Structure 1
Amino acid sequence: MRLLSTLCISLLVMSAMAQNPFADELARHREKYKKDLLASAGGPVKEESDLSFVHFYPPDSTYRVVATVALTPKAEPFEMPTYNGKTRTHVSYALLSFVLNGKKQQLTLYRNLNIIRLPEYRDYLFLPFKDATSEKETYGGGRYMDLRKGDIKNGHVTLDFNKAYNPYCAYEEGYPCPIPPKNNVLSVPVKAGEKAYGKEH
């Protein structure tokens, strides 16, 4: 009887996963993210046991939204401050407009003018932001999302806040993590993506 019950539960779980490719893909993404975090040379996570303190919100497809993209080709480069006192040269690439939690929102998408000199990051786009969960459920210094130019199609781009991640500064101080500009502070809570690191540092 117990074996039959276990088999039934296993079948239900497998069936749920098969019917929810969004959650399945996100689970694979997060596993890769944690492996990369541990393997990163000079990164803040040194021990595999520390990965148990890396937490995420449950998958939520309502935080996967389509934004309208307005390019900003005449934007001037500027120095974006970081949490260790240094700056990083960025330039605005586009203004993203979308609806989240029933409210209209805007974020500015940037290019890091140093990173894009590297061939593998030539089309890299950077989206730093804070929201109403910052300093409460998520890292107070904000979170990041990575995009590529090719993600923009016909004037639109999909933003999956389930893939929002913490900067290195969330794990350990001293890294040059860009501070999200004031225009990239959302008025709504983004209960998706990575939560605050669970280990004191």
Structure 2
Amino acid sequence: MPKLIGFDKARLVSCFLLLFGLGCLQELKAQSLWEYQQEVFAFRSKQDSSLLHGTHSPLLSEDKKNYAGLTYFTINPAFKVSATWVSDKERSKSQLIADEASGLIKFGEVHFQLHGEPFKLGVFKQAEKQKGLLYQDSLIIPFYDGTSGGETAVVGRFLNVAAPQEGDASLWLDFNKAYNQPCVYNMAYTCLTTPEENTVPILIEAGEKTFLKPKDKGTLPVEVMPEFPGGTFAMFAYMAKKFKMPKDVSKSQGVNGAVVVSFIITTEGKVTDVEIVRPLYPSIDAEVIRVIQKMPKWKPGTVNNVPAAVKYTIPYRIVIK
């Protein structure tokens, strides 16, 4: 049976109450909320400075003229989580070939929990240094999440981490410091491919949003995103209920991973133009399309209170038990 790891809305609400009602979060007890916010603001200031004044900034000269800063989600300490480091000392021949093709070499993994769900992400280093990429010498965690292709770039985002000292397997992951690749600002740059394993099938509403050209700021294409009846959690529950595992898929095939699918919500709230952005397995891809095409009407997105067609992208994770 497939297992869909969805967005646990109830858990997130309780987390918000803890943060802003009591002003305390267990992981951040040694650092005040104000101090943490200043830390993230300093990180973001460095991002802006590097893009505007850096020697290898990927920003086009025309974008620098009217540059007014990047766009971010509101700082949320719930997205700074403790993680456990797992080294990856041996790679198979096929994995090494995949590493070379993506431009990233796997260095290890981090295991963590977010909203009560367990996840793991691969940690990589660049096969060759890429101009314009911030923090050239850091280890990189490229990742997709439920915002990819919507509020954040379709190619995913990056986190940087330092390898723990020998004998210490603990470290922090701070998604409030997630940032974009150079190709998001300038199409002349090549995007590094985010490995399929690095998909977190929930909404990580933290860190940098997709880049808007300075001339386009203030004229956002969508002011209010479309909404599935009952919200995001209800959408994931609907998909888990309606999805039927294809008969040609068996445990022996080892089909596990995420299908990234996009579709358009029309001004009437209908689902159209369903397409697979990142495939997993042909019959599974087809079943995901079928389920989404059968969705009930959504509450459409709006621009200045006028209904607008919106392209929506989500990851659908399959785990065969």
**TM more than 0.5:** yes
Aligned-partner SS, 1:146: strand
- In the other structure, the counterpart of 1:144 is 158
| Cα deviation 1:1-60 (Å, max 9, x = unaligned) | xxxxxxxxxxxxxxxxx86100011111111110011123251253152234x2011111
Shift of 1:150: 4.5
Structure 2 residue matching 1:57: 3-state secondary structure: coil
Partner residue of 1:60? 76
In 2 relative to 1, CA 19–189 (structure 1 residues): closer, same or farther, beyond 3 Å?
A: closer
Q: Which has the higher contact order (CA 8 A, sep 6+)?
A: 1
Matches within 5 A, 1:103-114: 103-114=117-128
Which residue in the other structure is 1:3 paired with? none
Aligned with 1:99 (options 98, 113, 119) = 113
% identical equivalent positions: 25
What is the deviation of 1:153? 6.8
One of 23, 34, 59 as aligned partner of 1:44: 59
- Tell me, yes or no, if the aligned pair for 1:68 and 1:156 is still in contact at 8 Å: yes
Mark the runs of 5 or more structure 2 residues left unpaired by the alignment. 1-31, 130-134, 217-321
Give the partner amino acid of 1:124: S
The answer to whether residue 90 in structure 2 is matched with residue 74 in structure 1 is: yes
Alignment partner of 1:157 out of 149, 171, 177: 171
Superposition TM-score, scaled by structure 1 size? 0.76
User: CA shift at 1:166, angstroms?
Assistant: 0.7
- Deviations along 1:83-111, one digit per CA (max 9) or x if unpaired, are xxxx5543211121111122111110012
* 8 A contact 2:58–2:185 mirrored in 1: no
* Letter aligned with residue 89 of structure 2: P
The verdict on how the C-alpha distance between 1:31 and 1:79 changes in structure 2, with shifts beyond 3 A counting, is: same
Which residue does 1:183 correspond to in 2?
197
Q: 1:168 to 1:58 in 2, by over 3 A?
A: same
After superposition, the Cα gap between the structure-2 partners of 1:181 and 1:57, relative to the gap in structure 1 and judged at 3 Å, is same
* Residue aligned with 1:126, SS: strand
Deviates more, 1:66-75 or 1:152-161: 152-161
- What's the offset of the Cα at 1:152? 8.0
In 1, the alpha carbon distance for the partners of 2:48 and 2:166 equals 26
Whole-angstrom CA distance in 1 between matches of 2:67 and 2:44? 15
User: Would you say the 8 A contact 1:151–1:157 is kept in 2?
Assistant: no
CA distance in 1, matches of 2:136, 2:209: 29
- Out of 165, 182, 201, the position equivalent to 1:168 is 182
SS across alignment from 1:96:
strand
Question: What is the identity, as a one-letter code, of the residue corresponding to 2:91?
Answer: A
Alignment partner of 1:51: what SS?
A: coil
Considering only aligned residues, what root-mean-square deviation do their CA atoms show, in Å? 2.6
Could you tell me whether the CA contact under 8 Å between 1:130 and 1:141 is conserved in 2?
yes
Work out the number of aligned pairs and report it. 173
In our comparison, the structure showing a higher alpha carbon Rg is 2
Q: 1:151 to 1:131 in 2, by over 3 A?
A: farther
**2:99 touches 2:106 (CA, 8 Å); kept in 1?**
no
CA separation of 1:169/1:72 partners in 2, compared to 1, >3 Å: closer, same or farther? same
Unaligned regions of 5+ residues in structure 1, if any? 1-17, 82-86, 116-120
1:151 to 1:63, Cα distance in 2 relative to 1, 3 A: farther
